[in-house]
Amino acid sequence: MTDRQMEEIAMERVRILFRLAEEAFPTAPARAQRYVDLARKIAMRARLSLPRDLRRRVCRRCNAFLVPGYTSRTRVRQRREPHITITCLKCGAVTRIPLRRRRG
């Protein structure tokens, strides 16, 4: 197998594990966290960075699976530059995502 095929397989497995984590979270949060940990390990082993949409579902400080309303709080702020604030309810880490218009 080529490196490209390995990367595609790894990314497919990472996406499957995140989907399973979302499905498992309401009944088994610990299992959902395990799926996320496995997905991150697969990505690290394949030397892939997680896509932006999946990266924002994991706390940068404690690696917790972020589910709005349960393990994270999401707010839209207008001060200074408009941005979205995601707060991890396990460790208190705050992530800010700017809401700038794209030029072009």
Residue ranges covered by each domain of the chain: 1-58, 61-104
pTM above 0.85, yes or no: yes
Give the model confidence (pLDDT) of 63-84 as tens digits. Answer: 999 999 999 999 999 888 899 9
Alpha carbons within 13 A on the beta-carbon side of 30? 0
pLDDT, mean of residues 20-25: 97
Cα radius of gyration (the chain):
16
pLDDT, mean of residues 48-60: 95
In the CATH scheme, what architecture does the domain 1-58 have? Up-down Bundle (1.20)
Which long-range contacts (C-beta less than 8 Å, at least 24 apart) are formed by 30-36?
32/65, 33/64, 33/65, 36/63, 36/65
102 pLDDT above the threshold of 90? no
Per the CB < 8 A criterion, the answer to whether 75 and 84 are in contact is yes
